[in-house]
Amino acid sequence: MLRFLSDEWLAALERAAEAATDAVDPDLDMVIQQVVTDDEGTEVAYHLVLRGGRVRAHRGRASAPTVTFITDRDTAARISQGIQSAQAAFMTGGLRIGGDIRALASQQAAVAGVQDLFGALRAETSY
């Protein structure tokens, strides 16, 4: 099992994205950044580049993200496992969103489909 947000998990995320060819709408062009913090102030950041029908995952912060999701580790784990929706986390204050919210809203269905690409990774992740 891969520990959620560990270096090994991030490497597996990168590989899963690389293997997903023609996975998203070819007109979609956005960078989704995820920043996860814990009680000690440690941060794990990664971003997904959705462009030209492909998805790429990269460790660290993006230089120019379209949108950024900021959560604590527990909230990120609940969202990843499907225990809590991102919308519910946002409504209760567990998820903050920055950047171009209009771009996110206009591409909501396409962005939601990206999560499906990482089902196998979720199955081998320990939270």
* 27-63: pLDDT as tens digits: 889 999 999 998 888 999 999 999 988 899 999 999 9
Angle in degrees, CA 86, 115, 127, rounded to 5: 70
Distance CA 86, CA 94 (A): 9
The pLDDT value recorded for residue 15 is: 94
List, in order of start, the domains of the chain with CATH numbers: 2-122 (3.30.1050.10)
* Count helices and strands in the chain by DSSP H and E runs: 6, 7
Supply φ then ψ for residue 41, to 5 degrees: 90, 5
Which has the minimum average pLDDT: 37-46, 55-64, 72-81, 111-120? 111-120
